[in-house]
Chain A
Amino acid sequence: MKKKHIDLKTGLKFTIDKNLDKIKSVKTASNKVEELKKATFVITM
């Protein structure tokens, strides 16, 4: 039985599953990620 965690700030319950570690990248239908990886960012904070 995997341990269920609760984020104290939001109450979100989550269980860590190492099977998800096999995921190395993402492909979205909108191709937004590819667009952003090529983009220039001007960050002023």
Chain B
Amino acid sequence: MNYPKYDTTVDSQTLIFEFVSNGTNGSIDKAIKYECVNDDHQIYNLCFGDKTGIDELTGELKIDDIIVSNNGDIEKVLATVASSAYVFSEKYPERIIYFSGSTASRTRLYRKAINKEYEEISKTFNIFGAVIVDGKYTTVPFERDGNYDGFFITLKNEKETY
């Protein structure tokens, strides 16, 4: 995790992170939101993209996770997002994080990023692939060349870390 990262702003519950990407296309507001999608398993989806606004009446944060920013800072952005997962998990060690790209190619990009930093990430997290089987999001062992619909990560117990 020795990549440069953007400074972030966080809510008091450590569920929302905001930062500004500064690159070749200018300054772009980014937002990360850990949103509970399954109470029983305590699964939180890592929502990430360009922040497009907040509905002041409902408190709904709007994120464009489809847009391609091409701001020339992908490593710094991904390092910032990955770091937020560490901070979130330190606060909520029992929760499961789910993430995927908004497209299959983005999900493959995330798999490549995991592969690149696998040894470092796996010191802290258990990593699983997610595949949709009969319409159900199912955990499978993570393999470097696996084809996944997304990923689950959980914080390792202290006994598991080294």
Chain A interface (Cβ < 8 Å from any Cβ of B): 4, 7, 9-18, 20-30, 32-33, 36-37, 39-45
Contacts and interface: CB of A to CB of B under 8 A. Distances in A.
Contacts of B139: 42-45
Contacts of B12: 16, 18, 20-21
A16 B10 contact: yes
Interface of B: 1-2, 5, 7-13, 16-18, 33, 35, 37-38, 41, 43, 45, 47, 49, 52, 54, 56, 58-67, 80, 82-84, 86-87, 90, 96, 98, 100, 102, 124, 126, 128, 133, 135-139, 152, 154
Q: Is the interface of A mostly helix, strand, loop or mixed?
A: mixed
Given A15-B10, A43-B96, A43-B152, A30 B65 contact: yes
Nearest to A7: B87
B91 to A, nearest CB: 10
Contacts of A41: 38, 41, 43, 136-138
Given A11-B83, A43-B96, A25 B133 contact: no
15 contacts: A9-B124, A12-B8, A12-B86, A13-B7, A23-B59, A23-B61, A26-B33, A26-B47, A27-B61, A28-B65, A29-B65, A30-B65, A33-B45, A40-B135, A45-B154
Given A17-B11, A21-B11, 11 more contacts: A7-B86, A7-B87, A12-B5, A12-B83, A20-B9, A20-B10, A26-B33, A28-B47, A29-B64, A36-B137, A39-B37
